[in-house]
Structure 1
């Protein structure tokens, strides 16, 4: 999919020099994304929604690629493009409703608690992998700004932005709070293993790409999550994967991320086009950032 321009109007919600631009546009976001979509299945309602829709099984390239492209679009595109992408995603999620088989309760992919879990694990995962395998930890000022920007991005979802953690300590508190209601099931286990180690019959690209990223993604997870998901790996693998992943990320980051775009086109082509459009974008019509509320005021009212 060609993306001719993603910054026609403005610099979007964060702008040049923002930690969100740095973290989400880094090659490490591929590892962080795999980490996040695996963790998504610890929420039984999201696991049910994914299983019932079966999108990751019938169209794994499209389903995963579009999701990562959405996150990247929100981070780096102009406000209008980001809001319109969000509106499309919310309409798709609105159709994902059903009965969660463990509890017998109804689920909705747009449920605010589930949306918060997706949002926090997504933003935390890309930051964690950026720190472990990329340039390293953000400064204290940048980290505070990163979580402030995560709250702004949450305005495009159904969760309350005020519920998004505002610091590393608040992220830990959030995980401690929700841990008691996280679980796995036969369908969740199937999905997590599928995402970590995609079968070869889904194509060599996904088969090879998932296995290349999986050890690095798992190495960033705490032991309790690995035990819960039953996908732990030896400490020796954890130790070996760090220098290997760092070397790969460094190689992908040269020449203005040219190698990263090439690899992304092989694994996630829509995401690659968003990244390429971001890297080559000319200055927008208005060289300033905007808020989601400001953008929504300008958009035509949908009948």
Structure 2
């Protein structure tokens, strides 16, 4: 992604700022659990599964692929407007080349399509909140949860999502998943991707830390997924495992937060080095030039490349 961590927050507080639920949840150690949940869940959307399978990134360079994706979400949550907009533009340019034929339907897919980007966005923001609720401090107060979903809508402006389609509350997120369920499926390639993400082999640069880390995280992330998804993806397990995992996972999260002082920094460098550098800079960053938040529209006006990216399937 070419991110320079020393520039994380030079101009402003970004889109959400200190005290925001987004800063709190995306920098919690539970975000690693939620992120693994999200990238596994994404494979149930056939067009996205085809894009991932055709690109082969999770197999050829698993550490870099996952690190770049998590780093993008984190930059949008805690970076200044300039950093977040430029990360968004870079990602859309990368995705622009990811087009092809989805083999189940025979229809063309495009990684930048609003439909696909919305699935990525909602599953990401919902999953990190779910993990925070189950393994972290617990549910947010109602006013904080309302603010979190409002911030989720703001973050969606950096992708190609249609604004009117972005859920604005937990109830709307639930409705979105119900609407999507008839369109979701599994396949040989989707199943291979999900299993690879849950139990990443150490080859192709993944290393022992990612291989071990993915397996430990999967103990918690699988517990957060509904039974029908686990059955469909062929990674279900007895419910007793879920019960047995919950307390140790909560203790591990608590210890990580206590020992490190700022959540994710303890584990991220071993699994996602760029993400670790972003978190380190987030903690160390002083007051920006303008100690206020900015809107994505204003940040794009000030810092965007003003290029047009084709983002829909033909």
**TM class by shorter-chain length?**
over 0.9
1:264 aligns with 2:287: no
Matching of residues 40-79 of structure 1 within 5 Å = 40-79=42-81
| Structure 1 residue aligned with 2:225 | 221
Distance 1:161 1:300, change over 3 A: closer
Q: Is the 8 A contact 1:251 1:259 kept in 2?
A: no
Aligned twin of 1:150: 152
Specify every segment of 5 or more residues in structure 2 that has no aligned partner in the other structure, as ranges.
Answer: 308-314
CA distance in 1, matches of 2:12, 2:262: 24
Deviations, residues 34-64 of structure 1 (Å, cap 9, x unaligned): 0000011001111110111100000001000
1:196-239 C-alpha deviation (Å, 9 max, x unpaired): 01124342112100100001001011112112212112111100
CA offset at residue 299 of structure 1? 2.2
Q: CA deviation at 1:257?
A: 3.3
Q: Which runs of 5+ in 1 are unaligned?
A: none
In the alignment, the residues of structure 1 paired with residue 37 and residue 158 of structure 2 have an alpha-carbon distance, to the nearest angstrom, of 22
Identify the residue that residue 241 of structure 1 maps to in structure 2. 245
Alignment of 1:196 onto 2:198: yes
Q: What TM-score, normalized to structure 2?
A: 0.93
Q: What is the aligned residue count?
A: 303
How far does the alpha carbon of each residue in 1:62-86 deviate from its partner, in whole angstroms, 9 at most, with x for none?
Answer: 0000100000000001011000000
Asked if 1 retains the 8 angstrom alpha-carbon contact of 2:85 and 2:304, the reply is no
Mapped contact 1:152–1:161 kept (Cα < 8 A): no
- Runs of 4+, deviation exceeding 4 Å: 300-303
- Give the match for residue 256 of structure 2: 252
Post-superposition offset of 1:164: 1.6
| TM-aligned CA distance change 1:219 to 1:15, over 3 Å | same
Name the Cα RMSD after superposition. Answer: 1.4
Matched residues in 1 for 2:157 and 2:263: separation? 33
User: Mean Cα displacement is larger for which, 293-302 or 278-287?
Assistant: 293-302
Show the counterpart of 1:12: 14
Matched, 1:35 2:37: yes
Aligned pair 1:283/2:293, yes or no?
no
Q: Identify the residue that residue 179 of structure 1 maps to in structure 2.
A: 181
* 1:18–1:232 Cα change, 3 Å: same
Deviates more, 1:176-185 or 1:218-227: 218-227
Rounded to whole Å, the distance in 1 between the matches of 2:263 and 2:44 is 33
